[in-house]
Structure 1
Amino acid sequence: MSVLDTAFVDTELSKKTSIFGLHLWVVIGIVVGAVIVLIPSNLFASLPRAAGAAARALPEIQIDMGKVEHRVVFSDRGASSGESRATSGAETGSFGDENVIGEGGYGIVYYGMLADNTKVAIKNLLNNRGQAEKEFKVEVEAIGRVRHKNLVRLLGYCVEGAYRMLVYEYIDNGNLDHLAYLHEGLEPKVVHRDIKSSNILLDRNWHPKLSDFGLAKLLNSERSYVTTRVMGTFGYVAPEYACTGMLNEKSDIYSFGILIMEIITGRAPVDYSRPPGEVNLIDWLKMMVGNRKSEEVVDPKLPERPASKALKRVILVALRCVDPDAQKRPKMGHVIHMLESEDLLSRDERRIARDSSSSLREEPSASRLEQQTKQ
């Protein structure tokens, strides 16, 4: 069922807000959701500190893959010691096409159920043969302990030979496109690596949650980046990450900027069905802003057009997030400040915007848009 078709969403998400003069369904993903980046670092303070604490009795799930059964151990704290045991067994069709509920660059997601009738989403990871079992377990166990109301819980995992699986809580209402929520604020930092509209889900109470959190990377405070195999969704991946494999939180900022553009324009990051000059969303948006046509980029499906200044400000924030120079992209806390503020940019912000636009001759967007915003 598409949550966008329900009467509830049509009514509630069309209400006006005081932020940007936009409707709730447009800005909720940008403003309210972005608060996720301020998740307090003391989330980890609640984790069990006794290394030798006795394990509680844990439920089990049988995951069938071909002729191999995998037992995944779960904890009420999230991903725990993911013991895996291969035994003989017949194929049950658990991973049949009829149970597919999602698919992306990381793998295929299947619907499943625990012995206690708890619904789960099982992600069978693809192209994961290069990651050692120990490394996989360490990262998944650390990330599985993170708790936040807007994060899909990682319940467990499975490791068997080259196979890697992640088991999440099942979110009833599927994904709601064009809502964006981000990470940050944890120690160690967690870089999501796959921020995109289809990773925003709604639970039965219509609470938005960021999914695929178990595929994130940990970034210790001693390092400004981590080198890893490039993973993500085409069109959302930051250029420096795609070219070098060097990942940090600014890579997610880039993806978040793409999401803002997607929300405002209703266009995909890359759409080969469009004319040559409109295939790439960033290039097209820069061209439109440079030609003083920012009013024409708004999604025609929006029930009401946003105020001109509000629109230009949101576009400016998006363009700053996708600056080709990762160091010039704002931190997420600053992004929230810019989106929530009704004032024009400060002098320092205008200077940064000019510097950002001057990095590319074909990118007059940021500084010119700021001038237009004053008009």
Structure 2
Amino acid sequence: LHYLDIKDGDGHVLEWSTRVSIVKGIAKGIAYLHAYKVNKPALIHQNITAEKVLLDQRCNPLLADSGLQNLLTNDIVFSALKASAAMGYLAPEYATTGRFTDKSDVYAFGVIVFQVLSGKLKVTNLVRIGAEACRFQDYIDSNLHGRFFEYEAAKLARIAWLCTHESPAERPSMEAVVQELGNCSSCL
């Protein structure tokens, strides 16, 4: 997602419909990983970040491999986790359990949704609070100049807020997120 932190007039700003499409594509990708199917075990990505979301020419999102299985030393793993935590992707429970779960991926997805909505790599408390209170000016990228659908913005903000809930038990599954996005007729 190299379209984050673009100043007005400095580069290509993603249109609203493209942002919604990206969020839906990421959600579907993570839900696919988490789903158990015949001959496909359920997987946890463990390292979802904006840098792991690649966009093709049509801005379709592709979720890059976590790469953690390729890291050979604990120091490298710790450095990667420290970087993820600093950017806010690491779920709070990891600090106490030291384990990744599907809800850890859900948390990271919520952070990415906030990033896509705000157009910023760093998600501040103002963005989270603004999303919870439905104050669009606090969490919608100003580069959009008001060209977004409030209903969709509110729905995506609510999803991001739920996904980044402090308690993993309160976070939705990615299947539920995909379903919620599908229930929004204007999000199709």
TM-score normalised per structure 1: 0.38
Q: What's the CA shift for 1:203?
A: 5.2
CA drift of 1:190 comes to 1.6
Name the structure where helix makes up a greater proportion of residues: 2
Distance 1:313 1:206 in 2: 21
Pairing partner for 1:338 from 172, 180, 183: 180
| Alpha carbons 2:132, 2:158 under 8 Å: kept | no
Alignment of 1:1-375 (within 5 A): 14=15, 22-23=16-17, 25-39=18-32, 183-186=33-36, 187-202=40-55, 208-215=61-68, 231=81, 233=84, 234=86, 235-269=88-122, 281=124, 283-289=125-131, 293-302=135-144, 304-342=146-184
The aligned residue for residue 148 of structure 1 is none
Contact 1:295/1:308 (8 A) holds in 2: no
Q: Which amino acid aligns with 1:190?
A: L
Are 2:3 and 2:119, in contact at CA under 8 Å, matched by a contact in 1? no
Shift of 1:200: 1.7
Whether the 8 Å contact between 2:52 and 2:65 is mirrored in structure 1 is yes
1:297 is matched by which residue type in structure 2?
Y
Structure with higher RCO (Cα < 8 A, 6+ apart): 2
* Post-superposition offset of 1:241: 0.9
Greater strand percent: which structure?
1
Which residue identity lines up with residue 33 of structure 1 in the other structure? Answer: I
Gaps of 5+ in 1: 15-21, 40-182, 217-227, 271-280, 344-375
CA distance in 1, matches of 2:170, 2:98: 19
Q: How many residues align?
A: 166
Structure 2 unmatched ranges of 5 or more: 70-76
Q: 1:301 to 1:188 in 2, by over 3 A?
A: same
Using the TM superposition, give the Cα deviation of residue 317 of structure 1 relative to its aligned residue in structure 2, in angstroms: 0.5
Partner of 1:32: helix, strand, or coil?
A: helix
In the TM superposition, residue 262 of structure 1 has moved relative to its aligned partner by 0.5
Deviations 1:153-205 (A, max 9, x none): xxxxxxxxxxxxxxxxxxxxxxxxxxxxxx32244322111111111224578
Shift of 1:319: 0.5
Considering only CA atoms, is the larger Rg found in Structure 1 or Structure 2? 1
Preserved contact between residue 258 and residue 269 of structure 1 (Cα < 8 Å): no
Partner of 1:143: none
Mapped to 2, the partners of 1:189 and 1:308 lie a distance apart of 35
1:201 counterpart SS class: strand
Distance 1:206 1:191, change over 3 A: same
Instruction: Quote the Cα distance in structure 2 between the aligned partners of 1:207 and 1:287.
Output: 29
Report the secondary structure of 1:324's partner residue.
Answer: coil
Any idea what the Cα deviations from partners look like across 1:27-60, whole Å, max 9, x if unmatched? 1221123222343xxxxxxxxxxxxxxxxxxxxx
With the length of structure 2 as denominator, give the TM-score of the two structures: 0.72
Q: 1:293/1:237 Cα in 2 relative to 1: closer, same or farther (>3 Å)?
A: same
For 1:332, give the aligned amino acid: M
1:249, distance to aligned residue in structure 2 (A): 0.5
Query: Equivalents in 1 of 2:117, 2:99: separation in Å?
Result: 29
Q: Is the 8 A contact 1:262 1:269 kept in 2?
A: yes
> What SS does the corresponding residue of 2:62 show, helix, strand or coil?
strand
Change (3 A) 1:305 1:193: same
